[in-house]
Amino acid sequence: MKNYNNKKAEEHKINSNIRETEVRLVDLPETHENGVYKIDVALRMAEELDSDLILISDKSKPVICRIMDYSKFKYEKKKKEKDLKKKTSVLKELKFSPDIAENDLAIKAKKAIEFLDEGNKVRVTVQFKGRGIVFKDRGTIVLLKLAELAQEVGLPETMPELNGKRMSFTLKPKK
């Protein structure tokens, strides 16, 4: 059992910092059985295995602990958080008017491609102002042009839909 007296070890209760009388041990090696143990027995088991007693959850009675090397525990936790961060996709939004110039549309397409490369979905919206709503076909044409420019990295989830004075559709990244 190592002595962790630094600030980083304070984020988890380990070894003698666990102030409970009984703990439930999980994920034990084959030589020991999972179950409820007195804290002194659990600490002795951790010491025998040359590992640490780590508090996993204090929301249950008795609290849930695990015996393993603390540095390995921190590494696994960081790895899980990183994987979760990768899997979550964010919805980014690009807005413009139906009278957008070709070069401005190319810049918006480049930004959409950037977002799609990062694994995010992109909602592309054309905002109609005043009586511009009469020219719905212009909005559809602009959205389809942008979809065509970003077709290498993204696929449209739906066709452009008109909702009030906004016409939009969503691009999802290709796998």
Burial of 86 (0-12, 13-18, 19+ CB in 10 A): exposed
Q: Are 56 and 46 in contact (CB under 8 A)?
A: no
Res. 10 pLDDT band, cuts 50 70 90 = low
Domains in the chain: ranges and CATH: 8-83 (3.10.20.80), 89-173 (3.30.110.10)
Residue range 104-119, pLDDT digits in tens: 999 999 999 999 888 8
Element (H, E) at 43: helix 39-48
Phi, psi of 107 (to 5 degrees): -65, -45
Q: Helix (H, G, I), strand (E, B), or coil: what is residue 8?
A: helix
| pLDDT over 60 at 102, yes or no | yes
Look at residues 53, 75, 73 and name the one whose alpha carbon lies nearest to residue 64: 53
Tell whether pTM > 0.85: no
Segment 57-78 mean pLDDT: 84
